[in-house]
């Protein structure tokens, strides 16, 4: 028995097992820290986008509330509304090129930004609890829908295309504004942004 403990190979084996166990523990710890860091970054990214969109809407809400759906939307009004809803960090490029005559480049960027908002909404569902993600996602989805309805509204083209009612398309725009307003009220009343910030701090 004592010969076993006196054997240097025994101690080398024990030391090797100990070192391996320690390395495994450190590796597991690093993976956990890495996962936490990734989760933190994803939560922060989606939170900042939501905060950016809601902050802009909060500033422009009065302007949108004054609009009435009883007259066709002129091209100038369409551009102004679009700039009003995109003058922030998240959608900045859209507000700067909406006046461009190159419709193709505008459309490519617009569709890219809509995909970005859709991706943000999907991420939110996975990185935040459902209790806050549901309302946050609805606001982002409503924001995206409002931009889509406004962008696809073109009074001149609609009047030429008899298969589409201008009044119906205009109503779609204002319905999207109403959906956005209701979604904003929900995140304000439920303090969704504050709850998200608290979760990130944890």
Domain coordinates of the chain in residue numbers?
A: 39-201
Largest CA distance in the chain: 100
Whole-angstrom distance, CA of residue 156 vs CA of residue 161: 9
Average model confidence (pLDDT) for the chain? Answer: 83
Answer yes or no: is pLDDT of 25 > 60: no
Per residue in 128-183, pLDDT tens?
A: 999 999 999 999 999 999 999 998 887 555 555 555 678 888 999 999 999 999 99
**Rounded average pLDDT over 69-78:** 86
At residue 83's C-alpha, the angle toward residues 80 and 86, to 5°, is 155
Per residue in 47-63, pLDDT tens?
A: 999 999 999 999 999 99
Q: What's the whole-model pTM score?
A: 0.81
Supply the pLDDT for residue 71.
83
C-alpha dist (Å) from residue 65 to 146, 177, 180: 14, 9, 11
Q: Which residue has better confidence, 69 or 16?
A: 69
Residue 191, by phi and psi: left (phi above 0), alpha (psi -120 to 50) or beta? left
C-alpha dist (Å) from residue 200 to 35, 56, 104, 191: 14, 22, 39, 15
* Band of pLDDT at residue 21, cut at 50, 70 and 90: low
Per DSSP, helices labelled H in the chain are 2-6, 8-65, 75-86, 92-97, 103-127, 130-152, 155-160, 166-189, 192-201
Q: Please enumerate in sequence order all residues whose Cβ is within 8 A of that of 199, keeping only pairs 6 or more positions apart, or say none.
A: 43, 128, 129, 132
**Which tokens belong to 125?**
């569902």
Burial of 95 (0-12, 13-18, 19+ CB in 10 A): middle
């Amino acid at each position: 028995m004592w010969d076993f403990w006196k054997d240097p190979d025994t101690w080398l084996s024990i030391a090797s097992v100990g070192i391996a166990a320690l390395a495994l523990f450190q590796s597991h710890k690093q993976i956990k820290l890495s996962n936490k860091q990734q989760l933190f970054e994803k939560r922060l990214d989606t939170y900042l986008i939501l905060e950016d969109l809601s902050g802009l809407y909060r500033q422009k809400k009065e302007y949108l509330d004054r609009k009435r759906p009883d007259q066709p939307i002129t091209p100038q009004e369409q551009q102004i509304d679009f700039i009003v809803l995109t003058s922030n960090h998240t959608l900045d490029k859209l507000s700067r090129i909406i006046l461009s005559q190159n419709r193709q480049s505008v459309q490519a960027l617009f569709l890219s930004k809509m995909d970005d908002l859709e991706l943000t909404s999907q991420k939110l569902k996975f990185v935040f609890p459902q209790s806050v993600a549901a309302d946050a996602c609805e606001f982002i989805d409503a924001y995206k829908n409002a931009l889509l309805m406004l962008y696809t509204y073109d009074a001149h083209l609609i009047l030429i295309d008899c298969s589409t009612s201008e009044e119906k398309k205009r109503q779609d725009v204002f319905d999207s504004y109403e959906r956005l307003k209701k979604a904003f009220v929900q995140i304000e009343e439920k303090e969704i942004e504050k709850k998200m910030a608290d979760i990130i701090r944890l």
